[in-house]
Amino acid sequence: MHGMSRQPPPPRAPGGPQRNESRPGGPAGPGDQGWRSPIALALFGVLVVGFLLELLLSGSGKTQTITYSDFLDKVKAGQVTKVDIGEGSTSSRITVKAKDATGKEKTYVTTGPSKLPDDDIKLLRSKNIVETHHSQSGSAWGPILTLGLPILLLVGFWFWMSRRAQGQMAGLMSIGRSRAKVYTTEKPKTTFADVAGYTGVKREINEVVDFLKQPNKFREIGARIPKGVLLVGPPGTGKTLIARAVAGEAGVPFMSITGSDFMEMFVGVGAARVRDLFQTARKQAPCIIFVDEIDSIGRKRGAGLGGGHDEREQTLNQMLAEMDGFETTEGIVMMAATNRPDILDPALLRPGRFDRQVVVPLPDLEERLPILKVHCRDKKIAEDVDLAVVARGTPGMSGADLANLVNEAALFAVRRGAHEIHMEDFEAARDRILMGQRRESTVLSEAEKEHTAYHEGGHAVLAYVLPHADPVHKVTILPTGMALGATQQLPAEERHMYSEEYIEDMLCVMMGGRCAERVVFGELSTGAADDLQRSTEMARRMVREWGMSERVGPMAWGQQGAVFLGEDLMHTRDYSDDTARVVDEEVERILRAQEDRAMEKLQQHRTGLDAVAKALRDAETIDGAMVRRLVDEAFGKPVHGDPDAALPDATQFLETPDRA
């Protein structure tokens, strides 16, 4: 895919994205219940009951509090019928029964002196009021709550702290235990029927499952199943999915763990977890152990800056000893997955350990179709959707990419308000993945629009007229992703190797945008920055790696390795300065030759370039069929195919002014 860059690409930051691996905590101990323990609940219940009893004993009924003077006024008015005097050391609590103006009896509460004056006593007796005297004693819950509550709180806090300490000690003591998840035949539900394509991979993996289910069938003829199976392939090809399918198919326990689960901040934890993992596996044998992302602990020993006492190397040493050491591991089959087999330690790959490597490549055309069908099973697909066409238009996509494509198509259908996924949704989803999100906010001026149209038209015309280039699928001048326009090419067939002619045509197509601007406007712009970067890298690989230079000859110098492997920390260039000068000269020769070739082809098809540019300015997006029709009509005959074939009418796009 070629596009006109918005601006020169910024310098890239060194290094790749960082993986943040948080240290998992230990298992939950009994102290994690906190205040929910039975004793804490019992203490809380006692406090609640005591508080309720205090409320009941305090007489919090329908009473009204009045002042002592109001109480004497009611006595003088003859409203009081009964008085209960609770004498205390500092004050007395007086409960009064009195009648209101309507004759209805009410209860009042007031506070008086600790001992009522004699005049007040005479007043009560003169009114013939029934009076009772008693010593005022507080509720029994008062002292209990005052003195017992702090004690209960201290006891509860001490008990909670002891339980927390026990839980932490339990977690610390179990830090060396394996974190592998054990699956039985009931779960997971994934089977080989859910893994589309990869017939050869499933055959080899299924052989391991058959050995564990029926070991006698192999032992009768003396066959020994491989102890380890290493799944190797690019990211997203379904290595972990195949492992889940093995767990679903196997009638034996399946233990799954990732490489990062062995690593911990404490020294020796990784090796302890490896030992515990194999001890658990021996108890459940026959069984399968699956280690995902094994490259995190299986890198070459003695590399990097960690030294021989590095924690990762100690973990790897323990795994090597467990897989084929002094103790036998009969009935245990190891499976692992990685996308970096080049960095694994050779001792890990020798016979007796991981002695079988199963490559899980990117799916080809025949495999992409069943993969799409699997991901479309739970989707509402319209009748106009042809999954074979979708599979043919998605070369190089992995299984994860295809799953994302189907999901993006479903999202586009929801945005449109449709109830089914149509073919246009798949087209929009593919463009979204391959070319990027459409930038609605970016509006091009007329001059920028014209430059972009000729830039993308140059890519499209060369992609059609060159014999070995991939066919044009779609051309657009709508700002998409980081580019102001894009030309999308899709291969006509699956390619597993590339010829020199194909690569040269690819370089010539990359030069098409830059050369079209020179042919039409006589000047250059920053829109070809990405094209130049990719073409320079491709030409350098032709010279350094693929031996496609006569001056350099049959020699190859690959890419430098990663520093963390320790192999290139003191790396020096393995060819001389004279050879480096020759390499640079050859790269320049290849690029200039393809630039001259692009200029020649565009001048030859100048009328077709103008027609394609005009169509892009008018429609903003055209397909590959339109590009072919416009170029053939402008050329006067088909560029490829029968020269006597009838041409469609495309004269409406040929009325463009002649440019110097």
Tell me: the pLDDT tens digits for 312-350? Answer: 777 787 778 887 765 555 677 888 888 888 888 888 888
| Mean pLDDT in residue range 162-171 | 61
Please give the pLDDT value at position 501: 93
In the predicted structure, residue 236 carries a pLDDT above the cut 60: yes
Number of helices (H) and strands (E) in the chain: give both, helices first.
21, 15
Fold adopted by 63-138: 3.30.720
Q: Which CATH class is domain 181-359?
A: alpha beta
| Of 556, 521, 559, nearest in space to 542 by CA | 556
Question: What is the phi/psi pair of residue 94, to 5°?
Answer: -115, 120
| Mean pLDDT in residue range 541-548 | 91
What DSSP assignment string belongs to 208-260? HHHHHH-HHHHHTTT----SEEEEE--TTSSHHHHHHHHHHH-SS-EEEEEGG
| Mean pLDDT in residue range 115-128 | 80
Q: Largest Cα–Cα distance of the chain, in whole Å?
A: 139
Please give the pLDDT value at position 15: 38
Convert the pLDDT of each residue in 412-464 to its tens digit: 999 989 899 999 899 889 888 877 777 766 777 888 889 999 999 999 999 99
Q: 52-56, 106-110, 126-130: which has the minimum mean pLDDT?
A: 52-56
| Of 298, 289, 293, nearest in space to 320 by CA | 298
Catalytic machinery residues: 456
Write down the residue that tokens 């509460």 correspond to.
109
CB 543 within 8 Å of CB 20: no
Cis, peptide link before residue 17, omega less than 30° from 0: no
CB 109 within 8 Å of CB 96: yes
Write down the residue that tokens 């977890």 correspond to.
273
Q: Is the pTM of this model over 0.95?
A: no
| Of 403, 469, 511, nearest in space to 627 by CA | 469
| Of 226, 242, 233, nearest in space to 341 by CA | 233
CB 471 within 8 Å of CB 487: no
Q: Is 446-559+573-653 a domain of CATH 1.20.58.760?
A: yes
* 396 dihedral zone (left: phi>0; alpha: psi -120 to 50; beta): left
Write down the residue that tokens 């970016």 correspond to.
442
Fold adopted by 365-435: Helicase, Ruva Protein; domain 3 (1.10.8)
Convert the pLDDT of each residue in 189-229 to its tens digit: 777 777 877 787 888 888 777 777 777 787 788 877 777 88
Rg of the chain over Cα atoms, rounded to whole angstroms, equals: 42
Write down the residue that tokens 């245990």 correspond to.
332
Q: Where are the domains of the chain?
A: 30-54+150-173, 63-138, 181-359, 365-435, 446-559+573-653
CA distance 225 to 218: 8
Please give the pLDDT value at position 585: 94
